[in-house]
Structure 1
Amino acid sequence: MISKKLISTGLALSLCVTSLAVPSVSDAAKKPSITKKLTVNVGKSKTLKVKKASKKAKVTWKSTKKKVAKVSKKGSLAAKVKGISTGKCKIKCTVKVGKKKYKLTCAVTVKGNKKTNKATTAPAASNKPVESAAANTSSAPVATTTPAATPVATPSFVTMTPATKPPVTLPQSFKNNYNGIFEHIGTCANYYGYGNKKDQLRDEEPMNFIKDQFNSITLENEMKPDSVLGNNSTVITVAQAKELGYVIPDNYKEEVVPQLNFEPADGALKYCKDNGVQLRGHTLMWHQQTPAWFFRADYNGGKAVVSKEVMDARLEFYVKTCMKHIFDKEKELTGEYGSLCYAWDVVNEYLHHTNQPGSTTWIDVYGEQELRPEYVKKAFQFANQMVEEYNCKDKVTLFYNDYDTYFEVEDLVKFVNFINEGEKTNICQGIGMQSHIDIERPTIDEFKYALETFMNTGLEVQITELDITINFDTDESNGREAKFDYKDEDETWDDQAKFVKDFMHMILNVQKTRNLVTAPKGLTAITIWGLFDKCSWRNKCEPLFFSNGIEMDEAKPAYYSFLEAADEWYN
């Protein structure tokens, strides 16, 4: 028989073991939560409440799809969710308790009757030509030479009278909503890529998404010199190069040339041909993402930097061979030169060429030439010669592309004027504004001034790499050095959407009211730099229009702000 003393000792030990195995207070009990699923009817509202949170907690709410359901704060810990139209979305809630932050999500389904089940659609383009817009009174520097011929529009692009809404409706998308306003609405993509950017032009889901949303793509990295030349030099003889169709200029005196990799570009062109999309060539010359061995004797990174004369021949070989390959591939795929690649960034970011310290670049060969770099002008001359040789002056536009252009307005105009100086026609025909911007930087007025100034040079203007961050450290007040990285500033998707609305309102107003004498071409394209936040190079600051994927329930409020802005074109 077991004694009472033994029993009590056993119970005590059991309690000790139990207290060691299980926390005295459950972490789950402390963590705030909300209902994970909610169904609401169109026109009706339901309340979402944060459970297990102190009334002192800071709570913010946002809807991923305000056209389906709107959310508004109701007290310190609750929100009202109102059904707007049938569909699904997510209500996202951020709860700050002291230094801790909790992100909660509720999946919302909005139901309705037949009257509320109609699909939302967007207007298509009519066949009417663009009429003269009201004169723009702003003054700006004008290019020193006569602008080149107006490029032929994309086959899918149809111009229209801004005041006339077309009668046919199309599904809402970037390209459909802006059809007739800009020639191209694009994104950057990867053929092979890496990580969560892998195989975007070879995997069915992103391939279809790109085709449905855009009519233009830019390869993010795979047409840059690093990719085409390769990290490690592989050389072939000049004779072998000629058999491959490479362009070997008369002043090329070396016995070997680098073997070039065009496989991703070829795959991208095939995708474009099969899906009614066009391609921006990015980029032929850049001080970054260009291997150091390209500037050294025998294409050997351990040898001395070559002379200007040797580099001139290498530059001509590279520019002309890359462009010839693309022209010939277009002919093979479509039977027509200039049918797929409608623009080239001939030179990228020269105005910021000092931001690659320690690397061998063009500066090591040519020296510092400030706003009159001879090798940049030569790159455009070689590119222009290829466009003329293939009779594509009316199909292909040659661009200078850079970031922070809204802070370099006067210098950029001087620089482009130098490139075109003394030429029979403009060899630089376009200005690319990358536009990696933040809702606080630049101001909309700063961007507007730059856009109007660039338009009034008479050159074509494109926004080439658009993304719009929130919670991004841009503070340079009182002599502070901005970190240009993530900083929690309590900025939300709704703040981003409001900025997008104001930003696109400005863009469209400048486009519509520009002076067609000084700015005949205006803004011809907007390229969004990535498919969704998670695969953005600035992902911590959520700069894109979809969050973690390309499904429609990942569309952010900024996506709908961007689409809705197009309606103003007709008002």
Structure 2
Amino acid sequence: MRITDLLLLTSALVAASFAKPTENGCWSEKFNIPCCKSTTKVVRKTYDGEWGLEDGQWCSIGESTRPSDDVPPLPSAPSDLDSLVDPAADCDITDSITGDSLAKLAPFRMGVGLNGGSVSNYTPSSKKMMELINYQFNSMTYSNGMKSLFIMDQEESLKNLAEGKEEVAVNFSGVIDGLEFSAKNDLHIRGHVLVWHKQTPEWFFRKDFDETKEYVDRETIFKRLDSYMKNYFDFLNFNYPGVVDAVDVVNEAVEVLEGKYDNSTGWYTRTESYEGDENIWYNLVGPDYVKEAFRIARKYALPTTKLTYNDYDTWRTTPHDKTGAIIKLMKMLKEEDLVDVIGMESYITPGEPTPEEYGKAIERYADAGLEIQITEFTIYVTDGDDWLEKQTVHYREMFQTIIDAYKKGANISSFTVFGLQDGYRFYESDSTRTRLYDHDLQKKPNFQAIMDILKEYNAELDKEDDVETTGLGDDDGDDIIETPGIGEDIETLPAEDSGTDDEDVISTSGLEDDEDSADDDKEEGNDEKKEDEGEKSANDDNAEVNDDTEEGNNDEEATITGDLEDNEDSADENNEEGNDEKAEINDEKKEEDDDEKSTNDGKEDLKDDENSADDEIEEAKAPVSDANAPVKAKKKCVVRHK
């Protein structure tokens, strides 16, 4: 039998197996959802069928309404990880895969960001990193890989158009490794993100899927969005049911900065970004793009998938009340049963928000009856020899605020740090300093600060259980565990003066969720170019050199800096033939640099990613299908922060 015939037969058999009910007649079991045993009350209708609730759990009612021949394609084969160079292969992670586990102690999911811009540098391409993640976390989020720019497939969409179908094709080959790993290890993935004013390919909005032609009309855009979401959810629902069970449907649609919003909607709809680029969705289809996106997502998502509205500065109340605007938007969506979760990105600078401001926002969302997920938690630092000590105090204060809110009843279901390690080892030069693990995958004090709070929380639970079990405790309540209220003083490690004046406080409005994306990296790259050569050398050294040798002589510094520059030049050459769409976005961004200069000046103190900007832009240009691109081996791991 020829291979093509075999593939056709296999496809037909798969379609038949999905179309038929299981042996007990329950069609929804293929999605890991049972059929209802007694209820006939329909709570929700989707493309696949009708759904009800029994004992608080979703179940299917009646027969499936999906056409029997409507079956998505099977996933591509995962990468051969043995053919890739693991830059963390010689890191000793024994201390992180034994003993204390964040996932085991947290009362909610503990997630981590999967960084990178292609298979060759996505976190799942490192066996060692994934071994650590599997022990410490139970949720993951691709910081780039599941955005529309990386999932929409122009070539296949053009083929659909040639067949008379205005249908947007999808290609998940770049994230198959993470999906497979999650399915095998019982982890979950947050899908990030479907609709955003950034990192949506320009051809999606243009006639004939051609970025050089005119924009299509509103009706065509929504028709394309419908096909995209259908193909997106179909692929995940059939091939990885239950793995991606939370999806950011719309990202950052609320803005309260003057001149950048339309408040005729009542919820400060974004018209342009903090950096000044337009909200293309608002401009082409109007402010109701948000509600329409959620309507389409609800139609194709499984009822067990939490649909999320995700935003940054969700705590902000000036110059207008962004928290209140988001609550209004969520209530509007809730009226049609379109949204499940508010995603608080949570980019924290040394100046804002304060723990009290952050806690108050959580309290307001909780009072509005909303489920909360902390989706991209990142704490930035300022320069100085004591940056790590200050960051540790800050981590403890903010995470204590989250735990206190949870203990007071806030429905917090997930907490995600948006990357695994400082100085991401897949990049030649990355000076990120915001993570829980250092460049050598050793625990930073930040990790222990969170772990200490989780242990305290569990100790309180154990004490409460003992009281309930034994009936001990007296009338004056000495045995009752009291928890501080949101906004009350929280006991923390002694904080040192940050030395940050009011004028040095940096707004997180422009940081948003794409810390690892090409757009924001481009802005930080502009900041980097404004530094003098001496500062750049110092930053590069700090990112790559062991703390014990940072006082080395000038000759050593010059050598290291030269090596980094050579590596960056090599990365530029290797990626010149990268994805045209991503390159075009970066080219467009260059035209805005002059206008953004004053904005970028305000971010000079956030140097976490400045040295990695050029590398990340070039990596983001690399084709998603580039599964076997070689990665230059890094320096051997050393143990620090012990």
Bin of the TM-score, shorter chain as denominator length: 0.5 to 0.7
1:458 and 2:369 aligned = yes
Matches within 5 A, 1:9-408: 171-178=99-106, 181-182=107-108, 184-190=109-115, 193=118, 198-229=121-152, 235-237=158-160, 255-330=165-240, 337=241, 339-352=242-255, 353=270, 354-355=272-273, 357=276, 361-367=280-286, 373-387=287-301, 392-393=302-303, 395-407=304-316, 408=322
1:502 and 2:397 aligned = yes
TM-score, length basis structure 1:
0.56
Overall identity of the aligned pairs, in % = 28
1:549 and 2:460 aligned = no
* Higher Cα radius of gyration: 1
Q: SS where residue 493 of structure 1 aligns? A: helix
**In structure 1, C-alpha distance between the alignment counterparts of 2:446 and 2:116, rounded to whole Å:** 27
**In structure 2, C-alpha distance between the alignment counterparts of 1:360 and 1:497, rounded to whole Å:** 36
Structure 1 unpaired stretches of 5+: 1-146, 153-168, 241-253, 331-336, 368-372, 472-487
Query: Retained in 2: the 8 A contact 1:286–1:349?
Result: yes
Q: Residue in 2 aligned with 1:53? A: none
Query: Retained in 2: the 8 A contact 1:345–1:400?
Result: yes
Query: Retained in 2: the 8 A contact 1:170–1:176?
Result: no
Runs of at least 4 residues of structure 1 off by over 6 A? 147-152
Query: Retained in 2: the 8 A contact 1:191–1:200?
Result: yes
Query: Retained in 2: the 8 A contact 1:188–1:529?
Result: yes
**In structure 1, C-alpha distance between the alignment counterparts of 2:439 and 2:98, rounded to whole Å:** 26
Q: SS where residue 353 of structure 2 aligns? A: coil
Deviation readout 1:384-430 (Å, 9 max, x if unpaired): 1223xxxx42x221100011111121111111122223x2xx21110
The Cα of 1:524 is off from its aligned counterpart by: 0.6
Query: Retained in 1: the 8 A contact 2:115–2:419?
Result: no
Assess, with a 3 A threshold, how the Cα gap between structure 1 residues 315 and 259 changes in structure 2: closer, same or farther.
Answer: closer
AA aligned opposite 1:513: K
The Cα of 1:567 is off from its aligned counterpart by: 2.1
Deviation readout 1:115-150 (Å, 9 max, x if unpaired): xxxxxxxxxxxxxxxxxxxxxxxxxxxxxxxx9997
Q: SS where residue 450 of structure 1 aligns? A: helix
The Cα of 1:526 is off from its aligned counterpart by: 0.4
The Cα of 1:265 is off from its aligned counterpart by: 3.4
Q: Which of residues 409, 412, 415 in structure 1 aligns to 2:329?
A: 415
Query: Retained in 1: the 8 A contact 2:314–2:344?
Result: yes
Query: Retained in 1: the 8 A contact 2:161–2:167?
Result: yes
Name the structure with the higher helix share.
Answer: 2
The Cα of 1:539 is off from its aligned counterpart by: 5.8
The Cα of 1:324 is off from its aligned counterpart by: 1.1
Higher RCO (CA < 8 A, seq sep 6+): 2
AA aligned opposite 2:311: D
Q: Which of residues 452, 455, 471 in structure 2 aligns to 1:567?
A: 455
**In structure 1, C-alpha distance between the alignment counterparts of 2:451 and 2:118, rounded to whole Å:** 28
Q: Residue in 2 aligned with 1:33? A: none
AA aligned opposite 2:435: L
Q: Residue in 2 aligned with 1:523? A: 412
AA aligned opposite 1:532: Q
**In structure 2, C-alpha distance between the alignment counterparts of 1:274 and 1:194, rounded to whole Å:** 19
**In structure 1, C-alpha distance between the alignment counterparts of 2:412 and 2:111, rounded to whole Å:** 13
Assess, with a 3 A threshold, how the Cα gap between structure 1 residues 239 and 291 changes in structure 2: closer, same or farther.
Answer: closer
**In structure 1, C-alpha distance between the alignment counterparts of 2:334 and 2:414, rounded to whole Å:** 22
**In structure 2, C-alpha distance between the alignment counterparts of 1:340 and 1:297, rounded to whole Å:** 35
The Cα of 1:542 is off from its aligned counterpart by: 1.3
**In structure 1, C-alpha distance between the alignment counterparts of 2:54 and 2:330, rounded to whole Å:** 14
Q: Which of residues 377, 380, 387 in structure 2 aligns to 1:492?
A: 387
The Cα of 1:202 is off from its aligned counterpart by: 2.9
AA aligned opposite 1:351: V
Assess, with a 3 A threshold, how the Cα gap between structure 1 residues 231 and 564 changes in structure 2: closer, same or farther.
Answer: farther
Q: Residue in 1 aligned with 2:263? A: none
**In structure 2, C-alpha distance between the alignment counterparts of 1:562 and 1:381, rounded to whole Å:** 38
The Cα of 1:450 is off from its aligned counterpart by: 0.7
The Cα of 1:494 is off from its aligned counterpart by: 1.2
The Cα of 1:239 is off from its aligned counterpart by: 8.6
**In structure 2, C-alpha distance between the alignment counterparts of 1:320 and 1:512, rounded to whole Å:** 38
Q: Residue in 1 aligned with 2:26? A: none
AA aligned opposite 1:218: T
**In structure 2, C-alpha distance between the alignment counterparts of 1:149 and 1:465, rounded to whole Å:** 32
AA aligned opposite 1:237: N
**In structure 2, C-alpha distance between the alignment counterparts of 1:148 and 1:292, rounded to whole Å:** 44
AA aligned opposite 2:363: E
Deviation readout 1:249-288 (Å, 9 max, x if unpaired): xxxxx64434321112333221101222111111111110
Q: SS where residue 172 of structure 1 aligns? A: coil
Query: Retained in 2: the 8 A contact 1:192–1:200?
Result: no
Q: SS where residue 467 of structure 1 aligns? A: strand
Q: Residue in 1 aligned with 2:616? A: none
**In structure 1, C-alpha distance between the alignment counterparts of 2:438 and 2:360, rounded to whole Å:** 31
| Range 199-208 or range 226-235, more displaced | 226-235
**In structure 2, C-alpha distance between the alignment counterparts of 1:398 and 1:535, rounded to whole Å:** 30
Q: SS where residue 289 of structure 1 aligns? A: coil
Name the structure with the higher strand share.
Answer: 1
**In structure 2, C-alpha distance between the alignment counterparts of 1:187 and 1:223, rounded to whole Å:** 15
Assess, with a 3 A threshold, how the Cα gap between structure 1 residues 305 and 289 changes in structure 2: closer, same or farther.
Answer: same
Q: SS where residue 257 of structure 1 aligns? A: coil
TM-score, length basis structure 2:
0.50
Query: Retained in 2: the 8 A contact 1:295–1:361?
Result: no
Query: Retained in 2: the 8 A contact 1:233–1:299?
Result: no
**In structure 2, C-alpha distance between the alignment counterparts of 1:464 and 1:437, rounded to whole Å:** 13
**In structure 1, C-alpha distance between the alignment counterparts of 2:228 and 2:119, rounded to whole Å:** 26
Deviation readout 1:473-498 (Å, 9 max, x if unpaired): xxxxxxxxxxxxxxx35542111111
1:438 and 2:352 aligned = no
**In structure 2, C-alpha distance between the alignment counterparts of 1:232 and 1:406, rounded to whole Å:** 41
Query: Retained in 2: the 8 A contact 1:282–1:344?
Result: yes
**In structure 2, C-alpha distance between the alignment counterparts of 1:292 and 1:311, rounded to whole Å:** 12
Q: SS where residue 456 of structure 2 aligns? A: helix
Structure 2 unpaired stretches of 5+: 1-52, 59-96, 256-269, 317-321, 461-642
AA aligned opposite 1:345: D
**In structure 2, C-alpha distance between the alignment counterparts of 1:279 and 1:149, rounded to whole Å:** 25
AA aligned opposite 2:152: L
Q: SS where residue 201 of structure 1 aligns? A: helix
Query: Retained in 2: the 8 A contact 1:470–1:491?
Result: no
Query: Retained in 1: the 8 A contact 2:169–2:228?
Result: no
The Cα of 1:535 is off from its aligned counterpart by: 2.4
Assess, with a 3 A threshold, how the Cα gap between structure 1 residues 148 and 229 changes in structure 2: closer, same or farther.
Answer: farther
Q: SS where residue 563 of structure 1 aligns? A: helix
The Cα of 1:544 is off from its aligned counterpart by: 1.0
